[in-house]
Each structure stands twice: as C-alpha cells, then as structure tokens.
Amino acid sequence: MPLPETVRVKLSSEEAGTISITPVVVQELAIRELLEHVLGVAGKDEARIREILVRGTLVVGASRFRWPGWEPDPAGIQTLLATFPDPDPSRPFAAEHCVRAILRGDRQRLEIVPHAGSHFWQLVMQVTAAAETRYAGYSYRDHADRYLRELSPSEVDQIRAASSKVKYSTLRDQILRTAFGQAELFVLRPGR
C-alpha cells in the first residue's frame, strides 16, 4: 500500500507508577513526522520500520503512539527515507554546533545543555575538543550527529572544578558526586 500523506494517531502516556488515568489524544500526523518518531527507535532499518508500521504501535519515551497498521509500499519507504540524513563518520566534531552533552558513568548519566551555564558549557566544549572524539552515529530523535569522548581523570577533575559555574544547584551537586568518564556529544549539522 502506498504511504498515506497523514496518519490518524492516538497518543497516550506510558507513565510508570500507580494506576493513573491519562487522556488519549487523537492527532493527524504527517507521514514524515510519524517516520521521524519511528527512525528515533529503528534508525534506517527498513525491515524494522515496516514491522512498526504494520504493527501500528510505537513507544517513545513516556508516549505511546497507536494507529491502524498497514503494509507499507517498500518503494515509498525508500523514497521517504532518502530525504533523511545518513550517518556520516567523516564529519569532524564541531563544538560550536554542539547542543547537548551527556556525562556518562557506569550507572548514571548527566545531561548538560548550554543554558546550564555558559562558562561551564565552554569548559566542557574545550575539554571534549582537546582530543579526538569518536563518531557514534546519527540520532534521528535528536536530529544530530553523536560523538563519544573518553575523559581522563584530570579532565573529569577539570569539569568537576568548573561545576560552581552551573546555574542549577541539583545539577551542580550531581556533577560533584557522580562517577563519569565519558562524554556523549550531540552536534547539529549546519543549516538545521
């Protein structure tokens, strides 16, 4: 079946916890918008995308998307997928286009964004750009290229020392207490 222009989708919450009643919202999504959500889960794996479209259900974060499933036209999927960016390992890390960093440890992750504190953000960008970052793929969910950078103990100490520049006390405390040794960096492509 050819890809429809829009899909009637029911959105509901998958919030964990005790019994809660959340409203179901019915919305017409452009097929491209629905596919963006699917790409965030499946990447450009055509077989998985087809399976999700046939099944008619997708969970993204705390939201469940449901629609009447259908057997999609493979050529239609390929044509639409061609309009989305591909991973490009030849792209160098560009700190000036970085929009988010996640400091990762064994058990916890700390999300850092530029508005958490410009001086702190600048230091994180200086530290991560000081040595080679490894390309880790394209995040369709974030519309950004992902890079990984292993941090040395002295770099972790530099980041901890600069935490006093962070606006938010909870994040500041987490940076000081959490064991982390890697930065995951999200970089927008110019023109996005």
Q: Where are the domains of the chain?
A: 6-81, 95-187
CB 85 within 8 A of CB 189: yes
| pLDDT for position 19 | 58
Q: How far apart are the C-alpha atoms of 22 and 3, rounded to whole Å?
A: 30
Residue 183's Cβ-count burial label (10 Å; 0-12, 13-18, 19+) is: buried
- pLDDT tens, 24-71? 899 999 999 999 999 999 999 999 999 999 999 999 888 899 999 999
* Interior angle at CA 171, CA 170 and CA 177, nearest 5: 90
For the chain, strand residue ranges (E) read: 6-13, 25-30, 57-60, 63-66, 98-104, 109-112, 134-139, 144-150, 182-187
CB 176 within 8 A of CB 160: yes
| pLDDT for position 89 | 97
Residue stretches of the chain with pLDDT short of 70 = 14-22, 192
CA 190, 171, 177, 118 dihedral sign is: positive
| pLDDT for position 24 | 85
| pLDDT for position 21 | 63
| pLDDT for position 62 | 84
Q: What is the number of other CB atoms lying within 10 angstroms of the CB of residue 3? A: 18
